[in-house]
Structure 1
Amino acid sequence: MLRFSLLLLLFFHSASSKLLGWVESPGYPSGYLPHASLNWSRCASKGHTLSIRLIHLDLEDSQDCENDAVKVFSNGNLISVLCGNKEFEELQSTVNPLLVSASGGCLSLSFHSDFSNIQRHIGFRGFYSEQVSCSEDLSGLNEGDISSPSWPGPYAENANCQYTLSVEAHLQLELHFSEAFDVEQSTDGQCIDLLRIETPSGTLGPFCGDTPPLSPFHTHSHHAIIHFTSNGFGTNKGFTFHFQTRAVDCGFPDIPEDGILKVVGSNTQYKDQIQFNCSSKFYTLEGDDTYTCSASGAWVSDGGRTEMPKCNQICGIPAKNPASAGRILGGRNANLGEIPWHLLIKEPSRGGATLINDRWAVTAASFVEKAEESSLVLYGGLTDGRTTNNPHVSNVTVMESERIIIHPGYSRDTGHAERTNFDNDIALIRFSSRVNFGPNLLPICLPEVNRGMVENEQGTVSGWGMTESTVNPKKLVTSRVLKHAQIGVYPLEQCEITPNLETTGKRMVFTNNMFCAGAPGRDSCQKDSGGPFVTPLLSLNGGPYYLTGIVSWGPPCDQRMYKGYYTKVENYVDWIKETINKIETF
């Protein structure tokens, strides 16, 4: 009640200089009777508007206010129908702003109640006051000046100004405010008098105090309405600004600088069109391809989109269909383009990594944990490891590492004892520069999160690791050619039977972040570490193929157990994406 009284006093004081009177329902505040009625009408002076400010409304509520109702008219036109109970704040924010006459116009109010009142309602009460009318329609003008009433002197009390600006659709309005800006503001920064700028995309402001809006003020529209209101006291000087137009220019669209997303068209004015495409056949365009410069200054696609399209890499589809898979241990040699995502690392030790996009590869943490971040050299687009000796002649792609990110849950090798746990054996490698895709160098797809490993599911493992000697099959030698083998996922219970360490007899740890796979006579081997296990099985169907596992650990190959352990990539897809996104957007 105290808060209501204070607000009432504030309204009475703010309008006191122009307060003309009160209007209320019959019997207020004791309540109105059935069949009560009231007809009221007043007109504003020339150059002024008349407004009604309701401070209390308590009527019987009914559908479409057909029982008891207050109706307000401006020059005979219905502008509001009210019934029910509305709080003071709601009246002030949503009802009272509508109860204003035209300049020099009239307001009329009618009230009626029917016979059906069961509960006695208090009724309504409000005051009517007169304000300076400073509204003007300036539509069609491309240039001009707008100021607060009485500028450069103090602006009028109880002003309610509205200036309408509208120009041709190919133009945009600019407002150039004078530094002399003085609109009443409270000590806590709240606007007492205020300036608002309304455009089709929303209302900007309120603005007040002694700091003008940023000049030039770009409305990004060919249509704007300037609202200015003041209360019943104060000696502030107000504002002035010059409005003018400029041609709509959407500017060149903001796209990545990697050269993959291409724009056809250079004109950026209103109604000009541009088209997007991807510069490489190894990417596909996501989104619309044709955009038009709109009146708002934004590029809008034929489908109504304002966000720019992007080029997504095509993953997991080799340019050349793989032949049927053989074995790594004496297995089938890969042809160029069959396994284009497999990268060779030769130093500080021999192993592999898998290309997942044009800046990143995935490998085993155990393989790179002792490497320096910028020390790795990776080779792609090859099958014969000897071609790395002269990569420019053999068209081998050379990638240098810029950063190595090992999974935070991986426990590094301390060297104090033989390792028994390779949990979270995964790492990311960021290249120092982007690579260009080609038929022999393409990324693999990441699997779905929690896809689930299926017992006996067939996949392909590849690598330049140890294989049987062609001279002596019992002897293992490093393969100079990329080999690939078809192996299957073993049952969980078989994976849980892990090998013992030779020196300590301790059993290796198996976790849910791993799976094991192999086949009689086929397995990954030493120096295959970090390489890919891919599903579905490489075949003539052409993919897409997914990086399901990473070669992690296993028993020595010379024991011919044919059971290797792999990092289960599906458990790390979120970590991979979040890590890459964090670094690329830093």
Structure 2
Amino acid sequence: MDRAVRLVGVLLFLWVCQTVASVLGTPATVPLFGDIRTPNYPKAYPASNRTVWELAVPKGFLLKLRFKYFDVEPSVDCHYDHVEVIYHTRVLGKFCGQKGSLIGRYPDREPIMSPGNSLKVIFQSDFSNQERHLGFLAHYQAIDIDECSLPTNKDEGPQCQHLCHNVVGGYFCSCHRGYQLQSDNSSCEVQCDGEVFREEQGVISSPLYPNAYPPTLSCRYQLRLERGFLVTLHFTGLFQVDHYKEKECPYDTLQIVIPGKDPQTYCGTKSPGTIETKSHSVDIIFRTDESGYSKGWRIEYSSKRVKCPMPVQFPNGKITPDFKEYRYRDYIKVRCNVGYKMMAHGHEITDFLSVCQNDGTWHLPLPQCHIVDCGVPLSLLNGRIEYSVGRESENVYQSVIKYHCNEPYYKIVPASTGEGNEFVCSARRKWEDANQNKVIPTCLPVCGKPHNPITKVQRILGGSTAPRGSFPWQVLLVSAGRAGAFLITDQWIMTAAHNIYPKHKEQRDSLQDLAQSIQIHLGDTNVEHLTYMPRLEIEGIFVHPGFQMGALQFNNDIALIKLRHRVTVNETVMPLCLPAAGSLYQPDVIGYVSGWGITEGYKLSNHLKYVALPVVDLRQCNNSIQSQKNSHKMAGIPQLTDNMFCAGRVEGGEDTCSGDSGGAFTLLREVEGGVEEFYAAGIVSWGVDCGKKGNYGVYTRVERYLSWIQQTIQGN
């Protein structure tokens, strides 16, 4: 029985909670919105029902109620079924009816706004609901209040004496500069001692300005700007501080205190005007006695950055940015002109930036722009340098040099990517030609143009002593005996292959061994003089691979010798040119041969001899050789091949002999500008009974070996 009673009590309590819908609670749990509805909604509400809703939202908000659906039995003045909306004791509305009903009061769609944060809603039905009216559905929500815009009423509005600030759910007060908010969070009192101003500009005025300032003030306004700023005080508007003529500023005073200067005291009605403090720190002290009605003062203060000195004139460079004046925090950059480098403290720098400091000085001194130096230009082997612009001791930007070879023995050849022999010291600190090429030209030896050509002296038949400088390519080669050779570059010598191998030796030495034993001399026409001169070191010997040493074999009789060091071309040393590909040796064309071979008395010559010989038709030469074979009745005469040609006179008397082997048979040719040069048409190779009537000398045809010569030189 007790258990049943307790159950009925619980159910009754739950029903009461449903019908009496209170939304009151603590601020932390008070909702910001919600819905209310009549009992049984959306079905017909019960008869004889009274339901009360106590609606509330957090403080600082207004409560807004809107009926989303409304259907309550209509009656005149809503006497029977009705809904009442009440704020405290004030009825905001009494509603009944339906949309479009002729009697009653329908709430329409306009919301009901509570003057505060709460509302009471009461629903009352009488003893019947025969037409099955459904009641209502309503939504409420919190609306933020702009307390600062409400009327200043002690009971209903804010009491901010100076400034009001609206925030969500409330408001707060603040005071003007120089005042302090009191404990009531609403009123303000003067508090002007120790206030600090750090902005670069602003306004400071006496309390209540332009109204009379309060009595017994002791104000200190402190201007504390960043170092590097200079404060200027501008007194604007009315200036009025109590004073008496009998004594200067005895009561109320305005004092300007600048560090390092005497304080300045002001009173009366004459404005101090504008004060340039030249300081970043200023104190404004205002003191008043207990009486007076003066209006006070107003200061608009501003500031300027400290000025740095103008940079001095900057030669060979540019300073940016270009300002009329530079102040604190400004910076300058420096750029040197093209062809100049930036130097600071004896070191080169790539960029420079200096900042104007707060004491009015630059944090770094200006650098200097020095002209760039390309250094000493590369020397030209067998040449010289001439300065067209500038001096040899400087080699600075835009200096101009010209390379010249030692003429007439060398000719200048530009680099493959170059242009000419003129070079300029560029801004890149390199010597460059017009195409920005840095590779200098080369001095190549002039070939075949002797200082004293034999064609200028009278020809002496039968062989004559060669004048000095007539055959500067002539080389004395000493192996097992005396032989000839000739210079074809400043490092390569050409000779007959059979000169390389000593005669009558069963065991042939290697070419490496022969390079140590063979002696090479050049630069003079006298053998005795030559032998006293240092021998030229040989780096390598290259015999044509088709040459076969034998009594009856002189085919491919050609060899090359590479010197370890290049020789200097001069009056007595000059290479001989090579023939052009496809050169034809016409019969009767005169060529010249020189050597230290056997003379008519069958003695070796101590002085260089030369002879002028005509080229002989190959068939005529071959017939001569066949005739010699028949007359000697022996097979010991070599075979004439297409790699050979003959020269000599049918009457004899002029020829090359033993000791001349390996020398050059030279011909003249015309080159550009009508200039003539000698070239190596042949190499003295072999012959039978030299100088006798009907016999001819045989020469290796150099033109047949141009490819082998080129490959050998380039490959070694």
User: TM-score normalized by structure 2?
Assistant: 0.41
